[in-house]
Every structure is written in structure tokens, then in C-alpha cells.
């Protein structure tokens, strides 16, 4: 899943990025409001972590403009402002949650997971297909109860397809959400190679190829 961090404190942004990448998320960072808004408008993003006090455009304006442009990804606002009316204003203009600075990274992670579950039709931290279960909290994948070892990107790809079960995902869309839109991968075989790895580990029928459209996990998996 792809997370965009818009935070002008570079050390804080880098700490959040490293922490979330260890949790298997693809992360993009912007250090000013204008850059962050442009990335939010042009990249496929599953969630935005948005500071309020930013150079160029503040977080309130970014949030307002994204909602006006029908961008519906969850937005978690970071704020050093703790006055109730300022928090209420952020929620009223379209933010989904807020976190006051300073904060614990584990709490940030819990809120990120909660917002991503809220976005999904399945609210459980467990995602399933057939006899396979993926736990978004522990990052464990099990088949018939046996743990299956996946690399971080294999896990990220499998989670993304599970969260969008029954909907074909194009290669470019997968790269946006799982690899953070790295341009050098757009015309590579990276996605196809990782699909092959997943099929080898989880079963050839777990992921279907839809000609001309991409890959999907069907709503029903046949042996």
C-alpha cells in the first residue's frame, strides 16, 4: 500500500518513512505543500499523512482542495495545534483523523492501519482467499494454517490484490500502490516476476491473469 507523507520537518518525515517501510508500505515524501499537493493529485495513493504547518500551502488548504477534486484517500493530519476548534476544522474539511505532535510511531501505525481498514470493505485485519489468510497486523501469511514466507514486496503485492479482490489491477496501478510509482519500473517485468513468485508459493490459481487488464484475486478460488 502506498502512503504519501507531506511533512516539512525532514528528520521527522524520514523517521516516519523508514518506520513505515519496515512495515511493508511503499512511501513517498514531500517537504512542502505545493510539492505534496502535486504528488497527491498525480500519484495513486492509499493514504496521506499530512502536516498542517507547511511552506507553500498549508495542510488545511491541501485537504480542502483534494476533497474538492474528489480525491477520497484517507487523510491523517499531523498537528502541533491542540485547540479543539482547529482539530474540528480539520475534520470538517475532510480529514479522517488527526495526531498531535509529538506522537509515538506505534500509535501512528495503529491509526494508519485503522484508516486503511476503514477504506476497505473488509474491516478485519485478516484478509482471506480460499485457505490463505493474511494478517495485516503481524504480516503473517498462512496457507492451510502453515506460515508462508514472503518478501516485503511479495507481501505488499498480495495485500494490495487482496484488498481489491475481484477487481483487475493494471501493472502501472500495481507499481503505483506497491512500489510507490518508481518510474524505472514502469516498463519492466517486476510485477510479472513477483506474481510468478506468489503463484509458486501460494498456488497457481490464487492470482488470475486478465488479458489486457492485469491481475486479480478472484472472489472464489478454485483448487
What is the rounded CA–CA span in Å between residue 89 and residue 61? 11
pTM of the model: 0.82
Nearest to 127 by CA among 200, 221, 209: 221
Question: What percentage of the chain exceeds 70 in pLDDT?
Answer: 93
What is the rounded CA–CA span in Å between residue 216 and residue 210? 7
Please write the tens of the pLDDT for every residue from 98-137.
998 889 999 999 999 999 988 766 567 899 999 999 999 8
Residue 169 per-residue DSSP state: B
Domains and CATH numbers, the chain: 2-119 (3.40.50.2300), 126-216 (1.10.10.10)
Sign of the dihedral defined by the CA atoms of residues 88, 90, 96, 101, in that order: negative
Contact yes or no for 63/90 (Cβ under 8 A):
yes
Burial readout 31-51 (b: 16 or more C-beta within 10 A, e: otherwise): bebebbbebbeeebbbbbbbb
At residue 123, the pLDDT reads 66
At residue 150, the pLDDT reads 94
Classified as helix, coil or strand, 79 is strand
What is the rounded CA–CA span in Å between residue 50 and residue 115? 14
Query: In angstroms, how far apart are the furthest CA atoms of the chain?
Result: 56
Please write the tens of the pLDDT for every residue from 29-38.
999 999 999 9
What is the rounded CA–CA span in Å between residue 66 and residue 41? 7
Going by their DSSP bridges, the two strands 208-210 and 47-51 should be labelled as unpaired
At residue 61, the pLDDT reads 96
* Positions of the chain with pLDDT lower than 70, given as ranges: 81-82, 120-123, 183-187, 221-223
At residue 221, the pLDDT reads 58
Strands (E), 83-140: 97-100, 126-129, 132-135
Amino acid at each position: 500500500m502506498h502512503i504519501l507523507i507531506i511533512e516539512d520537518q525532514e528528520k521527522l518525515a524520514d523517521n516516519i518513512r523508514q518506520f513505515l517501510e519496515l512495515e511493508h508500505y511503499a512511501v513517498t515524501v514531500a517537504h512542502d505543500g505545493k510539492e505534496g499537493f502535486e504528488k497527491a493529485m498525480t500519484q495513486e495513493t492509499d493514504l496521506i499523512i499530512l502536516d498542517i504547518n507547511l511552506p507553500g500551502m498549508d495542510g488545511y488548504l491541501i485537504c480542502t482542495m483534494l476533497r474538492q477534486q474528489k480525491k477520497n484517500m484517507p487523510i491523517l493530519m499531523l498537528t502541533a495545534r491542540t485547540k479543539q476548534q482547529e482539530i474540528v476544522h480539520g475534520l470538517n474539511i475532510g480529514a479522517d483523523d488527526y495526531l498531535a505532535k509529538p506522537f509515538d510511531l506505534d500509535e501512528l501505525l495503529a491509526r494508519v492501519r485503522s484508516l486503511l481498514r476503514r477504506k476497505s470493505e473488509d474491516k478485519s485485519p485478516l484478509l482471506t482467499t480460499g485457505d490463505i489468510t493474511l494478517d495485516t497486523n503481524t504480516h503473517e501469511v498462512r496457507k492451510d494454517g502453515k506460515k508462508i514466507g514472503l518478501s516485503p514486496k511479495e507481501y505488499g503485492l498480495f495485500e494490495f490484490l487482496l484488498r481489491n479482490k475481484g477487481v483487475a489491477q493494471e501493472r502501472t496501478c500495481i507499481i503505483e500502490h506497491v512500489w510507490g510509482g518508481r518510474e524505472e519500473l514502469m516498463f519492466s517485468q517486476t510485477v510479472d516476476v513477483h506474481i510468478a513468485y506468489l503463484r509458486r508459493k501460494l498456488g497457481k490459481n490464487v492470482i488470475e491473469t486478465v488479458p489486457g487488464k492485469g491481475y486479480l484475486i478472484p472472489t472464489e478460488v478454485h483448487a
